[in-house]
Structure 1
Amino acid sequence: MNIETPPFYNEVHELALSLVNSQDQTKSYWRLYEKLRVVCENHAGSKSDHPFQWETLADFTLDDVAALEIYAKALEIAEILGLEQYSASIQLAMAERYLQLGKPDYALKFANLANETAKGTKDFDLRKEISEFLLEICETFNKAQLTNCRCA
């Protein structure tokens, strides 16, 4: 396996699929979430620590503020490892969470960071998703509501 795919990918992927298939706020969901959190903690700070695990955990964290803290951890690891695709994906997820929290300036900031980071990747689907998010946020909020708007 290369650095972009963690050795525990299958375990995290299976937990993520199970979480998707369970219903939010059920005992089953929280049991699976806890298993995923334990996987993350077990690899934290080790040579196998990877942004994939943390991004996945944040994706399934229902509290936006708590999710942002986990995404920040994932982003730090992605940047240390030089994994631009992970960095861009995480920055976009952070932008989406900030928008959910009613903080469009932060959402725009992270979307622009994601856009710049994604330019260094060959992931055209991710680049398209980021561009669509930028268009959406700029159409939703006028320039007077956004500082540093580069949407025009």
Structure 2
Amino acid sequence: MNTKIYKQVHSLASQLLEAAQKEDEQCFEQRYLELTALCENNAGVERKDHPVQWETLADFTDDTESALALYRKALALAHDISSEDFIASINYSMALLLQQNKRLDEALACALLSKAATELIVDNELKREAFKLVKSLQAATKS
């Protein structure tokens, strides 16, 4: 991934978190628009269009359907570059969002994909969290 873009995304994510914690809506909106512009400017550009930017944008998107669309875009890019780390992370984020919205069958499907991808990565924390989420969702869908 392009280091400059990664640093921009990381910086904007940090600023978005800080603005959210301070409940500074104006700053949040400005940074969100900057991140959106970064994603759109890099869309389709080789070596610049990367799942991390789209996943980050989805993480800060309030509307469920819009966030899911962004996660799907990130997931497609993650598959394009065969990044199991991003595939696991994005599916996990989608599963959590779907769970929050009581879409448990869809959440379970994403959680299972995340869990499967974690078997190919070294992130033990994500492995544990994906496993716990699958168990929780399996129990919830059986009731």
User: After TM superposition, is the score higher than 0.5?
Assistant: yes
Aligned counterparts of 2:88 and 2:3: Cα–Cα separation in 1: 18
Aligned counterparts of 1:120 and 1:129: Cα–Cα separation in 2: 15
Residue 108 of structure 2 aligns to which amino acid in structure 1? L
1:28 lines up with 2:27 in the alignment? yes
**Counting helix residues as a fraction of each chain, which structure ranks higher?**
2
Alignment correspondent of 1:43 = 42
Aligned counterparts of 2:34 and 2:12: Cα–Cα separation in 1: 8
Residue 53 of structure 2 aligns to which amino acid in structure 1? Q
Q: RMSD over aligned Cα, in angstroms?
A: 1.5
**Residue deviations 1:16-59 (CA, integer Å, cap 9, x gap):** 00100113571111111000001111110001110000000000
Instruction: List runs of 5+ in structure 1 lacking aligned partners.
Output: 146-152
> Do 1:6 and 1:52's aligned partners in 2 also have CA atoms closer than 8 Å?
no
The worse-fitting range, judged by mean Cα deviation, of 106-115 and 94-103 is 94-103
> Do 1:54 and 1:74's aligned partners in 2 also have CA atoms closer than 8 Å?
yes
Alignment correspondent of 1:53 = 53
Residue 107 of structure 1 aligns to which amino acid in structure 2? A
Aligned counterparts of 2:80 and 2:24: Cα–Cα separation in 1: 34
The worse-fitting range, judged by mean Cα deviation, of 23-32 and 57-66 is 23-32
Aligned residue pairs, count:
140
Residue 50 of structure 1 aligns to which amino acid in structure 2? H
Q: 1:126 to 1:51 in 2, by over 3 A?
A: same
Structure 1 residue ranges, 4+ long, deviating more than 2 angstroms after superposition: 135-139
SS in 2 for 1:49: coil
Alignment correspondent of 1:11 = 8
TM-score (norm 1): 0.86
Q: 1:29 to 1:81 in 2, by over 3 A?
A: same
> Do 2:43 and 2:49's aligned partners in 1 also have CA atoms closer than 8 Å?
yes
**Identity across aligned pairs (percent)?**
35
> Do 1:6 and 1:50's aligned partners in 2 also have CA atoms closer than 8 Å?
no
**Residue deviations 1:75-118 (CA, integer Å, cap 9, x gap):** 00000000110011000111111112211000000000111111
TM-score (norm 2): 0.91
